[in-house]
Amino acid sequence: MSTTRTVDYFLQVQQPDGSWETGSGPMHDYNHALARLGIRRQTMPEYEHRIAQRTTVQTVTMLPIDEEAPTHIGGNAEDCPACARYVHNVTYPSICPGPSA
């Protein structure tokens, strides 16, 4: 298992009801976000602006794989676990080729 932690920053702008909405795309550099905040405060002084930080944690986990492939059972392919792996390729009538396949 590996865990990756990323931090990014974005601007928020206050709404008339007092809530805060996202006001920019994500920025990886805090100083860049700070500069953008300054510009935003100059160009839109009628609104309140602030910087928010978002921390994202991604966890990657290896999954075990069933290495033993199911065998064909013959008959209706919809009932066969081996055919089910390729069900998008099966055309009607879907007949399983059987155990010798």
Phi, psi of 18 (to 5 degrees): 95, -15
The 3 state secondary structure assigned to 27-88 is ECCHHHHHHHHHHHHHHCCCCCEEEEEEEEEEEECCCCCCCCCCCCCCEEHHHCHHHHCCHH
Tell me the window of 10-18, 37-45, 58-66, 89-97 that interacts with Zn ion (CB under 5 A): 89-97
Q: Is 96 among the residues that bind Zn ion (CB under 5 A)?
A: yes
Q: How far is the CB of 65 from Zn ion (least distance, A)?
A: 20
The Cβ of residue 80 has, within 10 Å, a number of other Cβ atoms equal to 24
41 versus 72: smaller Cβ distance to Zn ion: 72
Q: Is 83 near Zn ion (CB under 5 A)? A: yes
- Residue 37 contacts Zn ion per CB under 5 A: no
The rounded distance, in Å, linking the Cα atoms of 86 and 81 is 9
Q: How far is the CB of 92 from Zn ion (least distance, A)?
A: 15
Among 10, 41, 72, 94, binds Zn ion (CB under 5 A): 72
Q: Applying CB under 5 A, which residues contact Zn ion?
A: 72, 80, 82-83, 96
